[in-house]
Amino acid sequence: MKTHLDCLPCLLNQALRAARTATDDENIHRQVVDAVAGMIPGLPLDLKPPELAQQAYRIIHRIVGDSDPYRREKEESNRAALAVYPRLKQLVEQSADGIYTACKLAIIGNSIDFGPSAFDNSNLEGIIDTAMKQPLAINSYDRFLDRLHKCNSLLYLGDNAGEIVLDRLLIEEICNGNRGMEVHFVVRGRSVINDATLEDALMVGMDGVARVISSGSDAPATILSQCSEEVNNLYRSADVIIVKGQGNYESLEGEGGNTFFLLRSKCQLIADLLGVKVGDFILKENPEASFGSSQP
């Protein structure tokens, strides 16, 4: 999707939030706001919103003087999610449809975000318990399950640290019913906000359930033109692509692919585009998917 004018004030807001997460120094917060505001005039709106965010986060890293200012927060997110993992694993194993439960947990895990979301993520267990009672606002689960049954190669585009623990749980459950499946899990090529990188994937043991590869880009999204040839090849060839989070949705919506978007809607613009409310949980089949759109 292209950038809307509404994305520009939101970008400034995100930059301020990111600066505050990175440091308590109010002078730096102000420098970040000024630098990102100063970059707005002339920004081409035919870029995707995460491409603007990518530029803003590069500015933040430069001003903060740290290429990974959210390392500590990301590790805490991973630890918090790993701490609830045993209980969630049990929940999945005891449920009538383990893949559905794991799928919903993975979508709820997308609440863990320092980007556009202003959700309070401090109480992960409470968030999960509340959210599990909420139905998915868009629910292509029947199609998703059908496609998984015929799937030999799964490409999983991760989003945030912490969240990837719930992604691992979903991958475990999917592979449990289809042991021969080849799974690739894509992380960001370099640190950008709290997005998961290789370090996070290793910290949560993702390498035990999937081949973890780098996107090749520091965008907080999957900008295919910036991604490695391997990621592009997998994107074209995978039987099923699981795309996590709003940034990845913004970058891949309209790009084709055998995609299911799993995300929490985090701003009014995306909520309006999807026809849902801010905060809703989504499992949406790509209407342009080459495996067609006939109902099961």
For binding to its own copies (CB under 8 A), which residues are involved? 5-6, 8-10, 12-13, 16, 26, 29-30, 33-35, 37-38, 40-42, 45
Strands 182-187 and 211-214: parallel
Nearer to its own copies, 34 or 97 (CB): 34
Nearer to its own copies, 41 or 292 (CB): 41
Nearer to its own copies, 33 or 84 (CB): 33
HSE value, Cβ hemisphere, 13 Å, CA-based, for 141: 17
| Cα angle value 180/148/142 (rounded, 5°) | 155
Nearer to its own copies, 45 or 202 (CB): 45
Tell me how far, at minimum, the Cβ of 267 lies from its own copies, in Å: 12
Contact 165, 198 (CB under 8 A): no
Tell me how far, at minimum, the Cβ of 28 lies from its own copies, in Å: 11
Tell me how far, at minimum, the Cβ of 231 lies from its own copies, in Å: 33
| Cα angle value 180/261/71 (rounded, 5°) | 85
Q: Using alpha carbons only, how large is the chain's radius of gyration in Å? A: 18
Q: Which two tokens stand for residue 97?
A: 């449809």
**Residues in a beta bridge with 281:** 264
Tell me how far, at minimum, the Cβ of 191 lies from its own copies, in Å: 23
Tell me how far, at minimum, the Cβ of 113 lies from its own copies, in Å: 17
Tell me how far, at minimum, the Cβ of 137 lies from its own copies, in Å: 20
Which one, of 141, 96, 102, lies nearest residue 282 by Cα? 141
> How far is the first Cα of the chain from the last one, in angstroms, to the nearest whole number?
28
Please list, residue by residue across 12-36, b when 16 or more beta carbons sit within 10 angstroms of its beta carbon and e when fewer do: bebbbbbbebbbeeeebbebbeebb
Tell me how far, at minimum, the Cβ of 43 lies from its own copies, in Å: 9
Give 216's DSSP letter: S
Q: Which two tokens stand for residue 21?
A: 């997460």
